[in-house]
Amino acid sequence: MSDHTSEHRTMTLKLIVWRQKGQNEPGRFETYVARNITEHHSFLEMLDVVNEELIREGKDPIAFDHDCREGICGMCSTVVNGVPHGGQERTTVCQLHMRKFKDGDTIYLEPWRARAFPILKDLVVDRGALDKIIQAGGYTSCHTGGVPDANSTPVSKAESDYAMDAAECIGCGACVAACPNGAAMLFTGAKISQFAALPQGQVEAPERVAGMVNAMQECGFGNCTNHYECQAACPKGIHVKFIARMNREFLKALFRAKSGSHTFIGEGQD
Amino acid sequence: MILDGKAPNGPIESTWDRHRFEMKLVNPSNKRKYKILVVGTGLAGASAAASLGELGYNVEAFCYQDSPRRAHSIAAQGGINAAKNYPNDGDSIFRLFYDTIKGGDFRAREADVWRLAQVSNNIIDQCVAQGVPFARDYAGYLDNRSFGGAQVSRTFFARGQTGQQLLLGAYSALSRQIKIGTVRMFPRTEMLDLVVADGEAKAITVRDLVTGEIRVHAGDAVLLCTGGYVNVFYLSTNAMGCSVTALWKAHRKGAFFANPCYTQIHPTCIPQAGEYQSKLTLMSESLRNDGRCWVPKRKEDCRKTPNSIPEEDRDYYLERKYPSFGNLAPRDIASRAAKEQCDDGRGVGPGGRGVYLDLKDSIARLGEQVIRERYGNLFEMYERITDENGYKVPMRIYPAPHYAMGGLWVDYDLMSNLPGLFVLGEANFSVHGANRLGASALMQGLADGYFVIPYTIANYLARTRPGKVSADHAECRKSVEEVKGYTRKLLSVNGNRTVTEFMRELGHLMWNHCGMARSKESLSEAIARIPAIREEFWQNVKVGGTGEEFNQQLENAGRTADFLEFSELLCRDALDRNESCGGHFRVEYQYPDGEAKRDDENYCYVAAWEWKGIDKPPELHKEPLKFENVHLAVRSYK
């Protein structure tokens, strides 16, 4: 057990940070020094310290997205030393702590970089494209109130656990930022797999996979070429098997469309 | 003024059913003529926007985050209560109603709580239909667990991420309506004023957080679903962006603020490690199902490593004080007990502000694997933050501000005293009284959004002509000018102290003077000191940049300015309530054994405060509370 009552040794770090005023402005790296950082600072608290100093000096603080700071809201989104969220297994950048760094380290900070995520300012990007994918079918079309008793349809524990494994995605977009193709297939595959495993998701399965895959392409995301960088970067440990499940669901839907029971891509689907 | 909550009379079991029949309806073809503005997209806001869009209303929804899926409901871990009685262990709607009234220390409106318990079962049905992957047993049926303040297992859960899964369910329903076009979504947009025209709430003025544009959105009704205000303590379990701003702007426009002094301090949070800290992290109180709270019996043992302290030298203080509920005592009681041990000099960790939560006995009984399955993500989170392994050494916990039971005053229809202004979820005061039971916040947010507001809003809209106020109404134009002026004022101070410095100072004052224990002296001192901090803020705050750009300093400055006004009201309410109840503990009012001493003769009412101006004390209005179904009694968990 570490002794919290003793004086903490402090670190000094060199930060090389991407600064960009707005979406259509040129960006560049600038260098800052973070002083008096202890091992108990979270990464974002370290950035708070740097920003407080910048504000006191009358300079523009580094803009970065964050909210819950406990690893669940999915808002934080910074590439640290080339790795989205900084590379600690199953950890968002808000839960990364400075004990993972050494005194004198140089740290590079960049925004998510992907065609579908325009940079708004510094480390802040627009991830509205992920919402568009969900809007294209990431739901069951049940009406409020018009549903059966919750226990009327048993779901095997195995299927339920599988759905939960997929549903843990926090929608941060690290998978997209990590992918050399800027693909959102881990994000989309996870949502499709969640519904594919549950009885409630069966009725609209073909329309769902068609709609969401279409939206992915329309939003400018790339395709999967099996690098698995997405899984490595995912702070929730979402598995690439869900991409395979999406592909299988897509093929199933295609066969059903061929047999005439469902419309499909380009056949009346928006 | 004596306020009337307009709760239906008669047998409690049929209040909601009768009221649903008596309320007016809006004809299906007329619904699209009404525009409803929904502020906030947490459980209450997302479920309301989705359900109202589905009914055919024209909805506009707003959130400050980059996506509606990120609202702070997402962070709720433990679970959601419902009176399903699937485990066959004696639960019923009446028992959930009873437990909630008692848990709230008899300071909530009976009919509202009954309705909540009644619709709790519909919520579970709805979520399962949406594909929420609740925990199940090996037969495929839904699993339940127990939670603080109840002796039945009525809590449904999805691992340690129940709030996330419920919010994603509501978000999916909202996304469907956005696609259909019944809901227009405005992310990265913050409400900065409420427009009241001819006595009715008809519009909001917002700031686009990306471009800085300030504009007005007019509608026929406004729903505030903007959560709670415990960031007034600076360090809390809330997200960084949670604020009182939307509620405070509405309060300044005439909406009454009810029971602001009822704040919940959650017992199982990771203790503060240093001054730089930006937030406190909660660990689900479900840990108390298998964990035992203790501190050393002797002060001199506090610096020893916990595993070296023998069993006979440990004080399992909750089991000692509350033998029948033990470690599952309600939150307010467990938090106060932890504070008592630390005040007695027997706290552990930095500054002696911590107690042990020890799962050793459960690990010995059930095996580490079972504990890992139940709470694995919490142990991981604890280790990431503290660098300590909770399986090997007991975790250290300390109470932290977590939830606001108080909020804007609403009647039974969830409408504030301003016609057209509705308040849902944590933002209103209605069902939790002076203390909320675990796993009841998610229940309330979804009850209000899915099953209450779709009915009660029609009761208002049916009496009002659609489109009465448009964006070029004089009050709307005035509001836009005022917000623009306010923004310029914040930017023009150009002093020497940062926004965070002010917020930290205020939070520190509030925690020490109006936190877990309050006294006449501490509150009077806070009330005297807050105006000075506020004054300094407006003379010496430093906010850089401009209003016409992405400017996080400016956002924080606005929220802090509102906390600097609101905090004073919170303290005034706490000073006015000369009793201890639930989350409000006044040291002058306690029994010899340290338990809270309620005063039903003089304080069995809702305190609803009316804004009178920055330099004038607020005016108190009372809504008397009647208890006809659960008899007023001393709340005991011994």
With CB atoms and an 8 Å threshold, state whether A135 touches B179. Answer: yes
Last residue of a domain, one of B354, B370, B401: B401
With CB atoms and an 8 Å threshold, state whether B168 touches A75. Answer: no
Is residue B537 domain-shared with residue B478, that is, in the same domain?
Answer: yes
Q: Residue B218: which CATH number?
A: 3.50.50.60
Is residue B302 domain-shared with residue B198, that is, in the same domain?
Answer: no
Residue A269's pLDDT band, with cuts at 50, 70 and 90, is very low
Assess B559–A contact: CB distance below 8 Å, yes or no: no
Is residue B444 domain-shared with residue B389, that is, in the same domain?
Answer: no
pTM over 0.95: yes
Mutate to test the interface with B, among A3, A4, A56 (most CBs of B within 10 A): A4
Is residue B216 domain-shared with residue B315, that is, in the same domain?
Answer: no
Name the minimum distance, in Å, from the CA of A99 to any CA of chain B: 9
Residue A270 has pLDDT above 70, yes or no: no
Interface of A with B in 175-214 (CB under 8 A): 194-195, 198, 200-201
What pLDDT sits at residue B146?
Answer: 86
Residue B452 has pLDDT above 60, yes or no: yes
**∠ CA(B66), CA(B69), CA(B74), 5° rounding?**
120
Closest CA to B514 of B584, B590, B458: B584
Chain B residues whose beta carbon lies within 8 Å of the beta carbon of residue A67: 65, 70, 72, 239-241
Interface of B with A in 538-557 (CB under 8 A): 542, 544-545, 549-550, 552-553
For strand B605-610 and strand B395-404, is the pairing parallel, antiparallel, or unpaired?
A: unpaired
Return the percentage of chain B with pLDDT > 90, whole number: 92
Contacts for A65 with CB less than 8 Å, ≥ 6 apart: A75, A76, A77, A123, A124, A125, B66
Q: Residue B483: which CATH number?
A: 1.20.58.100
Closest CA to A186 of A142, A150, A137, A233: A233
Q: Is residue B435 part of a domain?
A: yes
First to last CA, chain B: 39
Rounded-to-integer distance, Cα B503 and Cα B523, Å: 18
Closest CA to B429 of B406, B451, B457: B406
For B543-562, what is each residue's pLDDT tens digit? 999 999 999 999 999 999 99
Name the minimum distance, in Å, from the CA of A191 to any CA of chain B: 10
Chain B residues whose beta carbon lies within 8 Å of the beta carbon of residue A70: 75, 237, 279, 281-282, 381
Chain A residues whose beta carbon lies within 8 Å of the beta carbon of residue B277: 45
Q: Is residue B453 part of a domain?
A: yes
**∠ CA(B185), CA(B187), CA(B193), 5° rounding?**
95
Residue A6 has pLDDT above 60, yes or no: no
Is residue B391 domain-shared with residue B438, that is, in the same domain?
Answer: no
What is the full DSSP assignment across A51-104? HHHHHHTTPPPPP---SSSSS-S-----EETTEETTS-TT--TTT-BGGGS-TT
Rounded-to-integer distance, Cα B481 and Cα A82, Å: 45
What pLDDT sits at residue B579?
Answer: 98
Q: Token pair for residue B198?
A: 């001819």
Q: Measured between CB atoms, which of B66, B179, B384 is closest to A65?
A: B66
Q: Measured between CB atoms, which of B70, B178, B500 is closest to A67?
A: B70
Q: Where are the domains of chain A?
A: 11-121, 127-258
Q: Measured between CB atoms, which of B50, B65, B139 is closest to A67?
A: B65
Assess B303–A contact: CB distance below 8 Å, yes or no: yes
Name the minimum distance, in Å, from the CA of A13 to any CA of chain B: 17
| Average of per-residue pLDDT values in chain A | 93
Rounded-to-integer distance, Cα B486 and Cα B488, Å: 5
What pLDDT sits at residue B149?
Answer: 72
Residue B458's pLDDT band, with cuts at 50, 70 and 90, is very high
Is residue B27 domain-shared with residue B151, that is, in the same domain?
Answer: yes
Enter the CATH code of domain A127-258.
Answer: 1.10.1060.10
Assess B211–A contact: CB distance below 8 Å, yes or no: no
CATH architecture of A11-121: Roll (3.10)
Chain A residues whose beta carbon lies within 8 Å of the beta carbon of residue B305: 1
Chain B residues whose beta carbon lies within 8 Å of the beta carbon of residue A168: 159, 161, 164
Last residue of a domain, one of B429, B461, B493: B461
With CB atoms and an 8 Å threshold, state whether B158 touches A167. Answer: yes
The residue among A151 and A258 whose pLDDT is bigger is A151
Residue A261's pLDDT band, with cuts at 50, 70 and 90, is low
Q: Token pair for residue A60?
A: 């523009």
For B534-548, what is each residue's pLDDT tens digit? 999 999 999 999 999
Name the minimum distance, in Å, from the CA of B2 to any CA of chain A: 36
With CB atoms and an 8 Å threshold, state whether A147 touches B126. Answer: yes
For B178-226, what is each residue's pLDDT tens digit? 999 999 999 999 999 999 999 999 999 999 999 999 999 999 999 999 9
With CB atoms and an 8 Å threshold, state whether B210 touches A120. Answer: yes
Please tell me whether residue A154 adopts helix, strand or coil conformation.
coil
Q: Residue B316: which CATH number?
A: 3.90.700.10
Chain B residues whose beta carbon lies within 8 Å of the beta carbon of residue A59: 544
Assess A35–B contact: CB distance below 8 Å, yes or no: no
The domain of B523 spans 474-590
The CA–CA distances, whole Å, from B454 to A122, B23, B98, B431, B526 equal 41, 11, 26, 18, 41
Is residue B260 domain-shared with residue B273, that is, in the same domain?
Answer: no
For A26-46, what is each residue's pLDDT tens digit? 999 999 999 999 999 999 999
Q: Measured between CB atoms, which of B135, B241, B451 is closest to A67?
A: B241
With CB atoms and an 8 Å threshold, state whether B66 touches A128. Answer: yes
Which segment of A230-239, B16-25, B144-153, B355-364 scores lowest on mean pLDDT? B144-153
Rounded-to-integer distance, Cα B421 and Cα B412, Å: 13
With CB atoms and an 8 Å threshold, state whether B141 touches A70. Answer: no
Chain B nearest-CA residue for A163: B133
Residue A3 has pLDDT above 50, yes or no: no
Rounded-to-integer distance, Cα B217 and Cα B34, Å: 13
Residue B227 has pLDDT above 80, yes or no: yes
Q: Token pair for residue B2?
A: 């004596």
With CB atoms and an 8 Å threshold, state whether B69 touches A131. Answer: yes
Q: Token pair for residue A140?
A: 């069951």
Using an 8 Å Cβ cutoff, are B36 and B221 in contact? yes
Q: Please state the rounded mean pLDDT for residues B405-433.
A: 98
What pLDDT sits at residue A266?
Answer: 46
Is residue B252 domain-shared with residue B273, that is, in the same domain?
Answer: no
Name the minimum distance, in Å, from the CA of A1 to any CA of chain B: 6
Q: Is residue B636 part of a domain?
A: no
Chain A nearest-CA residue for B141: A154
Last residue of a domain, one of B401, B420, B450: B401
For B370-389, what is each residue's pLDDT tens digit? 999 888 889 999 999 999 99
Residue B123 has pLDDT above 80, yes or no: yes
Rounded-to-integer distance, Cα B560 and Cα B544, Å: 15
Assess A128–B contact: CB distance below 8 Å, yes or no: yes
Residue B629 neighbours by CB distance under 10 Å? 16
Rounded-to-integer distance, Cα B206 and Cα B254, Å: 19
Q: Please state the rounded mean pLDDT for residues B472-483.
A: 98
Domain count for chain B, please give it. 3
Q: Please state the rounded mean pLDDT for residues B307-327.
A: 95
Burial class of B106 by CB neighbour count within 10 A (0 to 12, 13 to 18, 19+): buried
What pLDDT sits at residue B421?
Answer: 98
Name the minimum distance, in Å, from the CA of B311 to any CA of chain A: 20
Chain B residues whose beta carbon lies within 8 Å of the beta carbon of residue A56: 496, 498, 542
With CB atoms and an 8 Å threshold, state whether A157 touches B137. Answer: yes
Rounded-to-integer distance, Cα B186 and Cα B216, Å: 13
Is residue B410 domain-shared with residue B435, that is, in the same domain?
Answer: yes
Q: Measured between CB atoms, which of A97, A155, A164 is closest to B140?
A: A155
Closest CA to B217 of B489, B472, B535: B472
What pLDDT sits at residue B150?
Answer: 83
What pLDDT sits at residue A1?
Answer: 38
Chain A residues whose beta carbon lies within 8 Å of the beta carbon of residue B129: 140, 142, 147-148, 200
Is residue B384 domain-shared with residue B432, that is, in the same domain?
Answer: no
Within 13 Å of residue B217, how many CA atoms lie on the same side as its CB? 25
Q: Is residue B65 part of a domain?
A: yes
For residue A238, give the amino acid letter.
I
What pLDDT sits at residue B377?
Answer: 84
First to last CA, chain A: 58
Chain B residues whose beta carbon lies within 8 Å of the beta carbon of residue A200: 128-131
Is residue B94 domain-shared with residue B229, that is, in the same domain?
Answer: yes
Q: Please state the rounded mean pLDDT for residues B433-453.
A: 97
Q: Please state the rounded mean pLDDT for residues B586-597.
A: 93
| Average of per-residue pLDDT values in chain B | 96
Residue A216 has pLDDT above 60, yes or no: yes
Assess A69–B contact: CB distance below 8 Å, yes or no: yes
Residue A262's pLDDT band, with cuts at 50, 70 and 90, is low
Return the percentage of chain B with pLDDT > 70, whole number: 100
Burial class of B140 by CB neighbour count within 10 A (0 to 12, 13 to 18, 19+): middle
Name the minimum distance, in Å, from the CA of A261 to any CA of chain B: 23
Q: Is residue B638 part of a domain?
A: no
Is residue B447 domain-shared with residue B491, that is, in the same domain?
Answer: no
Residue A268's pLDDT band, with cuts at 50, 70 and 90, is very low
Rounded-to-integer distance, Cα B177 and Cα B449, Å: 15
Chain A residues whose beta carbon lies within 8 Å of the beta carbon of residue B282: 70
